Amino acid sequence: MTLNKNTPSSLLRVAVIFCITFCYLMLSACQTLAATDVDSNGNYQSRTIHSPDGIAKFYMGREIAKVMGHTEALWLERPSREFEEQPTKLVNALNFKPTDIVADIGAGTGYLSFRIAQKVPLGKVLAVDIQPEMLDIINFLKKENSITNVEPILGSITDAKLPLNSVDLVLMVDTYHELSNPYEVMRGVVKALKPNGRVALVEYRRENPFIPIKALHKMTQKQVCKEMSAVGLQWRETQSFLPTQHLMIFEKIS
């Protein structure tokens, strides 16, 4: 057999491709073997091989992201947020009525809750968070600014603690992907909605690889719609006027 001068590099290229393919196959096999049901209903899986940005828990094929802790509260209040995310446009686009009852789940410092409160002077905002430290900040700002229509609520990882049939709109901004028990939380949300109540989810667009946000902290519209359908919410529209995020609107099926 006669080898030309390109043969060694060709063989090396084939070997590299083979090794990469073999590694991917082994990784996939390990993930499958490592997957076990977390709950009795089989909604979740845990995997020993997972992203460092996740909690090793998977829901409908998606790994759940780690929660941003209260120590990052100043990031939520950063001056550049108005330019980067345009929250004023978001609040205006939700078309609140003065009497609306709005739940801001994952309220954090109340950055959006207090802005929404101005739009519902005859209603109120239920500012829900699972971190008491965040609610302490909300209570301080509420008192400092004499705001009476924001009600802080300490939720749990499985329940937003919203009253039944009481809410006109539930808003989650960059929150849903961090829910460690999304099925349970959203089932509770559906029960809390009034007939024809709405859910508005704002998530960074995973369809765009150039948005400089960690992958687990972004979601595709397709994935969100699949997960909302599982709890009885119907997709109504997606608005893309925000620079880097989807605004996805869902409605309770009466």
What are the tens digits of pLDDT across the range 46-88?
998 999 999 999 999 999 999 988 888 888 999 999 999 999 9
Which residues, in sequence order, are bridge partners of residue 104? 127, 171
Name the most confidently modeled range: 11-15, 28-32, 210-214.
210-214
Place of tokens 């491709």: 17
Homologous superfamily, domain 70-252: Vaccinia Virus protein VP39 (3.40.50.150)
Q: Which of residues 130 and 253 earns the better pLDDT score?
A: 130
Q: What is the pTM of this model?
A: 0.84
pLDDT above 70 coverage of the chain, percent? 84
Element (H, E) at 132: helix 132-144
The contacts of residue 187 (CB under 8 Å, 6+ apart) are 231
Which residues, in sequence order, are bridge partners of residue 201? 172, 248
Task: Find the radius of gyration of the CA atoms of the chain.
Answer: 22
In which residue ranges of the chain is CATH 3.40.50.150 found? 70-252
> Which long-range contacts does 50-57 make (Cβ < 8 Å, 24+ apart)?
51/215, 51/216, 53/214, 53/215, 53/216, 53/217, 54/216, 55/180, 57/180
Return d(Cα 135, Cα 78) in angstroms, integer.
Answer: 18
Return d(Cα 216, Cα 239) in angstroms, integer.
Answer: 21
Q: pLDDT at position 187, please?
A: 97
Query: What are 130-169's pLDDT values in tens digits?
Result: 999 999 999 999 999 999 999 999 999 999 999 999 999 9
Element (H, E) at 125: strand 124-129
